[in-house]
A and B are shown apart, each in its own frame.
Chain A
């Protein structure tokens, strides 16, 4: 009896010993596996951000790097540049129209598709496929669709459709409009992304348990009341997620502007991300470009970091 017990503990010990040994090795291999990625991200993301921050405080203009210190002056000058002021305003207008449009259309379509419609897969596909289209293609096509034309030579694109449908009051200059040109870019972006919002909402709505819906039905709630008081309050969390995702996209929008309009007349369709590329790689104002990059990074961090922390906590 005692012997077997001793033997058993011995085996146990051996096994534990072996286990620990492989355990340590495995832990080591795990770290070795991710080290190349850690180094890559540390260099290409974090050290580059610091490097770029340094450039933004330097005197570097022109093709040859110049790291002589200039300081915060670069930022002050940037904020006093008319183009950058217009860009910030455009970015704000774009964000509001783009996010608002996506939320309203996405929610509306998801509610419609939630009504047991036939051909749901077809409709979903139609609303969603723009997401797979390259932004530069969207830019080229919408840039043409929203070309205004004029009364004398004849309207073209969407304006021409409005003319045929006797909706003349809708005819406008789209992206050639000096004040609201950026809205035309936002419309193309809504076409691209609203299907994504629809899918997110539809998933969330379907995630609300059927028993809650049935209870509301038994209590005599009509369809409108069901959505107003039962479904919508349950969509708050997903709406926050969508706003953050769309918000960070609208701060970064570049491809669409580059392909659709460029900076536009009087910078009507210019945005900071495009200005950065333009002034850095066409104008060789590396310090200004770096400063714009840092400002964009700070803005996006305000949006994303609290959200990431919130997500990690709730995990």
Chain B
């Protein structure tokens, strides 16, 4: 009898603590989702609903007009459409991601399996390149781009994104290839395979998961980046979308529903990737968040 009472009390206690745990988790989830609520509800509100005092209200009617307006731009409201800048981001992000990933894959292969004199020191110097504040190289970067005629162009931005992406892509591939047994290389060489054969027939096929991680990581960080675009591109014709968004967030004339629609368009590609491929994103993050 007594035991039963104790048992019941225990169950009650456990239930209570469960309720508290879920309560706290749900509370935090709501807080984390608040910015997203504001972002999406405001972006579909019409102009008559967008007053500041009603910013928390759920929209009474949904409209996609804001997205249309923000995409093409408006002469009388004085802002450039983000559509063109969205495409600029695409033109930058695709080649920069593919090239920096390929280069990182080859580098990682060498730094993990073909160590040469000082290769470890060189690799450490690569790693440090990942941490540097870009403010400490911006002026020479702009000067160099000017001298080689790439300042203010998409190719200049692509080049910068590739080069400063090399450390992180090399790191992820190197760590991944380090898990592949070296005996595999030795036996392949016994069979007469050379440096490139081994890469093409053994490492490349094995590195598909790592490549996916790196591609996703590079895509999101290049898409989201703002410092290089704002410094290296000067006209809306070549500016990526992050620059466009900040430019019109600074304007007092543009209504909040338009700004939020712009923010949604800017955030969406990376968010979709996160939702679809979250696991790979997390793996890249574990290796790559050091990039900041």
Contacts and interface: CB of A to CB of B under 8 A. Distances in A.
Interface string A108-119: 010011010100
B138 A280 contact: yes
Contacts of B114: 26-27, 30
B184 interface: no
Contacts, number: 256
B202 interface: no
B137 A45 contact: yes
Contact of B136 (A52, A126, A161): A52
A19 B220 CA distance: 44
B133 interface: yes
A112 to B, nearest CB: 6
A200 interface: yes
B194 A29 contact: yes
Interface stretch (A2-10, A70-78, A134-142, A213-221): A134-142
B194 A25 contact: yes
Contacts of A290: 139
A65 interface: yes
A308 B38 contact: no
Interface stretch (B3-11, B25-33, B203-211): B25-33
B271 A22 contact: no
B28 A109 contact: yes
B246 A136 contact: yes
Interface of A: 19, 22-23, 25-27, 29-31, 33-34, 36-38, 40-41, 44-49, 51-52, 55, 65, 105, 109, 112-113, 115, 117, 123, 125-145, 149, 154, 156-157, 160-161, 191, 195-196, 199-200, 203, 245, 248-249, 251-252, 254-255, 258-259, 262, 272-273, 276-277, 280-281, 286, 289-290, 292-294, 296-297, 300, 304-305, 308, 312
B270 A139 contact: no
* 9 closest A-B pairs by CB: A30-B114, A293-B136, A134-B224, A132-B274, A48-B137, A48-B140, A297-B136, A26-B195, A293-B135
Contacts of A297: 132-133, 135-136
Interface in B159-185: 160, 163-164, 166-167, 170
Contacts of B220: 132
A210 B107 CA distance: 38
A176 B34 CA distance: 21
A52 B274 contact: no
Q: Is the interface of A mostly helix, strand, loop or mixed?
A: helix
Contacts of B160: 44
Nearest to B290: A245
Nearest to B281: A132
B116 interface: yes
Contact of B163 (A19, A44, A200, A273): A44
Contacts of B245: 136-137, 140, 259
B292 A140 contact: no
B176 to A, nearest CB: 15
Among B163, B170, B275, which residue has the most Cβ atoms of chain A within 10 A? B163
18 contacts: A30-B116, A33-B106, A38-B122, A41-B125, A47-B140, A48-B140, A52-B140, A115-B21, A126-B29, A136-B245, A137-B39, A141-B38, A141-B260, A191-B35, A195-B32, A277-B227, A296-B136, A297-B133
A26 B116 CA distance: 11
Interface in B37-51: 38-39
